[in-house]
Amino acid sequence: MANPEHIAILLEGVEAWNRWREENPDVVPDLAGANLTGAVLAGASLW
């Protein structure tokens, strides 16, 4: 199941997500099973 904190950050937008990824490079995002229908993910660093 997806980490609710990770989902919340992603739903704040690509800029917030990418900033969080830069600040937390050792964290493996857990978006497994998340319903991202309608989320705009263009440019998001999802690795």
Measure the CA dihedral 32/33/34/38, to 10°. Answer: 120
pLDDT of residue 46: 87
**Cβ of 6: how many Cβ atoms within 10 Å?**
19
pLDDT one digit per residue (tens) for the chain, 47 residues: 999 999 999 999 999 999 999 999 999 999 999 999 988 899 999 87
pTM, full prediction = 0.86
The predicted structure's pLDDT at residue 47: 77
Q: What is the structure's pLDDT at 16?
A: 97
